[in-house]
Structure 1
Amino acid sequence: MNKHKTSKSSPAQEKITILKVQEPAELMSFLIEAMPSRGRNALKSILARGQVFVDSKPVTKYNHPLQPGQQVSIHWAKVMEQVKLVGVHILHEDEDLIVIQKEAGLLSVSATKDVEEVTAYRQLMEYVRRSNPKNRIFVVHRLDRDTSGVMMFAKNEKTQQALQNAWQDAVLERSYIALVEGEVKKPEGTITSWLKESKTLLMYSSHKEDDGQKAITHYTVMQTTREFSLLQVELETGRKNQIRVHMKDIGHPVVGDKKYGSKTNIIGRLGLHARILAFEHPTTGKALKFESRIPEKFMRPFQK
């Protein structure tokens, strides 16, 4: 028995597929059964873009209840206005997480309750709720406001907890590019200290064992002049302001980092970029690696 009566508009009109509801069902299940050749992910996208109407009203909820006699129409040319992401570019998305590239100057997560403040977190929350108002995102880690590069958020609490609880094992590579002041003469090195936070919220190093959170930073010199050095930095631990404090400790503060001793700002921003994030997916177990290009500004001091 055909449960779905289907008709299509004429070529001269906007292309529309019309489906008649014959028995009670949820919208997503109805669409899968009515259009099996489309595939679940394609149908999710159609819903998210606001192309599905029930009795002439746009619906994006997967579980929207349908009753016999209702009409479901898919407007193939109509696309609901997408959430415009500012300072955020999505590199990867699946059912469990979103990997993004964040621009410098954008907060990862707000430190206040100011709902008007633009952050990566708030924008992504609005983005996932466009397809289902019950969707949420969860913070896994952060990048400083003035640090650009790759970071990720979880799309459910289970994924968040899995990543945070096994962060050291789950993260296979976390690599940064740092433009620092002065000529770093050792071609590579490791900095180890215990990080603490002052009453003025400034992080600083203690070299007494267990006097704070242990922080280990590895660096390799990529390019250098008498005035500046470009470093590849690998984090063995991920502490607040870790790279910035450790660069200050070795006498080569990150360019533009006045808070931690920088005296120059030739690129008009903090010289820190999260270049690579590689990790084991908490659900599939698959190794994923995401890489973003070194900002062109970072190369200025080395161009003749």
Structure 2
Amino acid sequence: MKPLDKENSHRVLYIDNHILVIVKETNIPTQSPDKVSCKTCLNSLEDLAKDFIKKKFHKKGKVFLHPIHRLDRNVTGIVIFARTSKALSRLNEQMREKKILKKYIAEIEGKLPQKKASLKDHIVHLSHIAKIVKKEHKNSKLAILNYEVIKEKRDSSILEIELITGRYHQIRAQLSNLSHPIIGDKKYEAKKNLDKIHLSCFYLEFIHPVKKDLLKFQIKPSF
């Protein structure tokens, strides 16, 4: 992912003194996995966003910036960052109370018999993978999403998904559990492995943490 300069400024959907809303491309984590900070490294979306703010507003010191939610490395879509501690606290509260509406577009292998449904599973986070398990399984958590088939192709289907709970790899695991994995998602039994799986957080809706306006953002997935 290239630096957020003038050529790539279209990826910045909204910015003010309190929040930053930005489009994440594939093959970059939302946050750097390295615990040791690197002042000159741009290893994550957070690093790139901090670099962008530093240059745009000519900031000399550290930049306060925290993601409100995260997308997997090979998933694209909209990400909200808080620019102040007040915004961070209030947006985290919205997340806890499920007041931030997140919708995804996914292209899956094959065709689903039910064109619209709610998936309720119990999921457990193992080492770098999520697994659907029985309710009685130790450490399992309830995972819920709603989906609707919006287009069918010859060998695939495109779904619009509303994420009700935000579990680790939830969408990927639940669709794979139906034997209809996301295209390119080899980790979850897809036929082919792609750097960019066909999953994107294309719509976000939330209340501005300070101004209290209802904000809506939508992008068009590249698949």
Give the distance between the partners of 2:87 and 2:60, measured in 1 at CA: 19
CA contact (8 A) 1:253 1:260 kept: yes
Match of 2:203 in 1: 276
Query: What amino acid sits opposite 1:118 in the alignment?
Result: N
Q: Does 1:196 align with 2:121?
A: no
Deviation at 1:224, TM superposition (A): 1.6
Q: 1:229 to 1:205 in 2, by over 3 A?
A: same
- Structure 2 regions of 5+ residues with no counterpart? none
Deviations 1:124-172 (A, max 9, x none): 1122223222332112111111111111110012211221133144634
Letter in 1 for 2:184: G
> Which residue number corresponds to residue 47 of structure 2?
122
After TM superposition, list the pairs within 5 Å mapping 1:1-304 onto structure 2. Answer: 84=5, 89-112=11-34, 113=36, 115=38, 116-130=41-55, 131-134=58-61, 135-169=63-97, 171-198=99-126, 200-208=127-135, 211-264=139-192, 269-295=196-222, 298=223
* CA distance in 1 between partners of 2:31 and 2:195 (Å): 22
Post-superposition CA distance 1:248-282 (Å, at most 9, x none): 111110111111111135x7620001110000111
Q: Which fold has the larger relative contact order, with Cα–Cα distance below 8 Å and residues 6 or more apart in sequence? A: 2
Residue type at the aligned position of 2:78: V
Distance 2:73 2:6 in 1: 16
8 Å CA contact retained: 1:87, 1:103: no
- After superposition, the Cα gap between the structure-2 partners of 1:195 and 1:85, relative to the gap in structure 1 and judged at 3 Å, is farther
- What TM-score, normalized by structure 1, do the two folds share? 0.64
Provide the rounded CA distance (Å) in 1 between the counterparts of 2:97 and 2:7.
32
Q: Distance in 1 between matches of 2:177 and 2:204?
A: 25
Q: CA deviation at 1:228?
A: 0.7
Provide the rounded CA distance (Å) in 1 between the counterparts of 2:99 and 2:168.
17
Given that 1:181 and 1:254 are in contact with CA atoms closer than 8 Å, whether structure 2 keeps it comes out as yes
Q: Say whether the 8 Å CA contact 1:87–1:102 is kept in structure 2.
A: no
Q: Distance in 2 between matches of 1:83 and 1:175?
A: 25
| Alpha-carbon distance in 1 for matches of 2:188, 2:200 | 17
Percentage of pairs with the same residue: 27
Deviation, 1:288, is 0.2
In structure 2, the partner of 1:76 is none
Q: Over aligned residue pairs, what C-alpha RMSD do you find? A: 2.3
Q: Deviations over 1:192-212 (max 9, x none)?
A: 1222112x3211122306852
- In structure 1, runs of 5+ residues without a counterpart are 1-81, 299-304
Per-residue deviation, 1:178? 0.2
Paired with 1:157 and 1:261, the residues of 2 have a C-alpha distance of 40
Take 1:283 and 1:91, find their aligned partners in 2: how far apart are those partners?
A: 18
After superposing on structure 2, the runs of 4+ consecutive aligned residues of structure 1 that deviate more than 4 Å are: 85-88
**Residues of 2 paired with 1:167 and 1:209: CA distance?**
27
